[in-house]
Amino acid sequence: MTIVRISLQETNLGGFSPVESGVIDATYWAGDEPFKEVVGDQVRFPKTLTAETTGDLASMDMVPTAGACCVKWMIRITRGGAYLTRFTEIPDVPTVVFGDLVDVDPTTFEPSVEGKAAWDAAVEAAQSAVAGAVAAKDAARVSAEAAGDAADAAVPAASEAVSARDEAVAAAVALSGAVGAVDGLKTLTTTGRLADTALNAKIQNRQPKLYSSNPGGFRQIPVVMLHNLVSLADAQGRLKDYVSWGYQGIFFSELVNYLRTGDSSQLPEKPICITVDDGGLSNYSYLFPALVEYGMKATFFIVPAWVNGDITTPANGGSFLEASPFTWANAREMFASGKIEYQSHTLKHGSMRLLSGPGEFNGNGEGAGADYLACKTMVEANVPGAVVTASAAPYGVINETALASLASVGCTGQRITATGLDATGVYDGSGAFAFATPQTDPLRVPVTDAASSQYLRRANKFGEADADGNQFQNGKAKATQRGVTLPAGWTQPTVTLPQAIGTGPVFRGFGVAADTPMFHTDMIPVGLYGAFSVDWWVQATSCPTNGVRCIVEGYTNPADATPAMTWTDQDSNTSWKRKRWNFTGHQSVAWIKVSFEVAGATASCEILLWDIRVRRTRSAYGSLM
C-alpha cells in the first residue's frame, strides 16, 4: 500500500486561512470509467474512496496503479461545492505527498504534460477567485457599516437603511463562505492517518459480493419469474435445482435495497430472487410448502382485487393462469412464515402504460402511482405487518410516464420482465432477459429466467456436456486454454512498447494477400448476457484507410462451427494506440473469439498488436495474454 498525504503545501494553493471542512474523493480510473479488476480469487470493484477532512493533515491508503490504471482525484469543499480534478499514478512507495504525484493521461496512463498544465491552471484560477472574493468581502463590509451609520443618522429613513444594512451583512456572510470554500482547496485535512481496518471495512461494505458462476467473477443476481405450479413435485424440482447450484433466496425488496445503496453486507454469497405473479392458489398449495422445505424466500407480486374477490379476469381481457387465487387468510399464514413478502402487480392486472387511476386503463400511465397506492393499502390492510414497496408490470409492459408516476409516490423498485423497447420507448415484454447487476436501475429490474430455467441452467453448468453441447462443472465456468493461433505471415517480434503494462508477445502481421490471414485467440468464456470489453494496442504501417479490423465472433457453445453474432471494428493507426470496444452482452453469446486482419492488404502492409485483453465490464477483469 502507498500512503498519499495531502496538506496545505501539497495542494500548491498555500497562503490562505483554513476552512472548517472539506472532502477528498479518489477513484481508480481507466479511460472514461472507473477501473475494475480481479486479482487471484479476490475481486476489486473500486468505488470512490472518500476522506472527510477536519484537522490539518489528510492521509489515504492507496494501491499502486502499476501502469494498469490511474487515480482520478476530486478535491471538493463541503461548503460551497468548489472542486479540483486531477488524474495521477500511484507509485509503489511507502509514502508520497499529493504535490509530488505524476499527472497522467487517463486513457494511456502515461505522464501527461497537458494534465499537469490543467492542474496548475485550476490552482491559479482558485487563487484568483480567493483574491476576488476577499476584495468583494471587504467592500461589502464597508457597505454594511455605511448603511448602519446612515440608519442611525437619518431617523425618517431608518427602516429603509436597516433593511439595506441587513442585506449587505448577508452578502458579506455569503462572500465569507465563498472565501472559505476556496480556501479549503488547500487545507483538506483529517485527523491523523485513516486506519487500515476502517478504510478496508468501508470499501468492503460498498463492494458487491462475487455472485457469479463465470471465471473472473461476474456479479450477477438472477430474478426468476413464476406463475402457476402444477404440483408439489413441480415446485420442489425447481427449488432443488436452485439449491444445488448454490443459490439462497432473497426478497425483491432486498435486491432493490442492494441496487439503490450498493451495500451487499446483508446478502448471501450467491443470491437468487424468486418472484411469483398474480396470486394463484397453487402458490399456496404447492410453492409455499416447497419454499419452507428448502428454506428459500420468494416475493409474490399479487393482484389484490383478484385475491379480494372483486374481479375474476384481468382488466385488459384474457384470463388468469389459474381458476382461483389464494385467500387473504392464506396470505397471512404464508407471511407469518417469514418466507414470503408481498408486492404490487396492479390492482386489477392491466397494462401499466394505460393506467389513469386505480384499476382504470384509459390513460397514458399517469395513474400508475395512484394504482400502486391502492394496491399497497389493500395488501397492508389484509396482511398485518406487510410493507409494499415495489411493483411488477403485467405482461412486462410499462412506459416512462408510469415509471415516473410510481417513483413520485415512493415506489422504490419495479420489475420490467424483458429488456426490449418498442419504437416509442415502451418496455413491451419483448427482447432479452438479463441478470441484475450493480449497475441495474432499481425501477427497471429485468427477469433472468422464467419457468424453463434454461438460462440459469446454462449459466450454472460448464464441464460435462448437456444435450445442447454446453459444458458443466459444479457451477463454475471452465476456463478455456488462453492460447493463440498464428497463421502464415504472422510472427512474435521484440519491439519497443508504448508503456510497460501487461506481459506477453507482440504479434506482427504482413500483407500477404488482399485480406491478410487473421490472427485469432482461442474460445474465451464470457457467459450468457455477459457484458465485456476488448482492449488492445495496435500500430499499422502502409495499411489502407480503415483497413485494420478487429473482429469479435460470439458463440452460444464453444463447439459451434458458426458464430451466433459477429461484430467488426475498423480503424487506421499509424502509431501505437490503445483501443477499447464495449459489448453489452447477448442471450445467444456465451463464448467469444477475437480476431484481427487487414482488409485490402498489400505486400508493404504491416500491423503490430500487443496487450490484448478482455475486461468483464459489469464488475470483473481478466487478461488474455
Supply the mean pLDDT for the chain: 74
433, 506: one domain: no
In a domain? residue 354: yes
Phi then psi dihedrals of residue 487, to 5 deg: -75, 175
Helix%, strand%, coil% for the chain, nearest 5: 30, 30, 45
Residue-wise pLDDT tens digits, 598-625: 888 887 888 888 877 776 654 322 222 2
In a domain? residue 243: yes
pLDDT at residue 218 above 60?
A: no
pLDDT at residue 217 above 50?
A: no
173, 262: one domain: no
Predicted local confidence at residue 479, as pLDDT: 30
The Cβ-side half-sphere exposure at 208, using a 13 Å CA radius, reads 27
In a domain? residue 449: yes
In a domain? residue 472: no
547, 510: one domain: yes
Which comes out higher in pLDDT, residue 334 or 169? 334
Q: What is the CA radius of gyration of the chain?
A: 30
280, 379: one domain: yes
Residue 334's H or E segment, with its range, is helix 328-336
- In the predicted model, what is the mean pLDDT of residues 402-424? 88
Q: Quick one: 57 exposed, middle or buried, by C-beta within 10 A (0-12, 13-18, 19+)? A: middle
Residue-wise pLDDT tens digits, 281-304: 999 999 999 999 999 999 999 999
Highest mean pLDDT among 14-18, 88-92, 120-124, 361-365: 361-365
- In the predicted model, what is the mean pLDDT of residues 399-416? 94
452, 488: one domain: no
Residue-wise pLDDT tens digits, 115-152: 777 776 766 665 565 556 556 666 766 665 665 565 55
Number of H helices, E strands in the chain: 12, 34
In a domain? residue 32: yes
Domain enclosing residue 375, as ranges: 219-459
488, 407: one domain: no
139, 267: one domain: no
Of the candidates 169, 186, 203, which is a domain's last residue? 186
Which comes out higher in pLDDT, residue 309 or 615? 309
The total number of structural domains in the chain stands at: 3
pLDDT at residue 457 above 80?
A: no
Percent of the chain with pLDDT over 90: 25
Predicted local confidence at residue 313, as pLDDT: 94
546, 436: one domain: no
449, 494: one domain: no
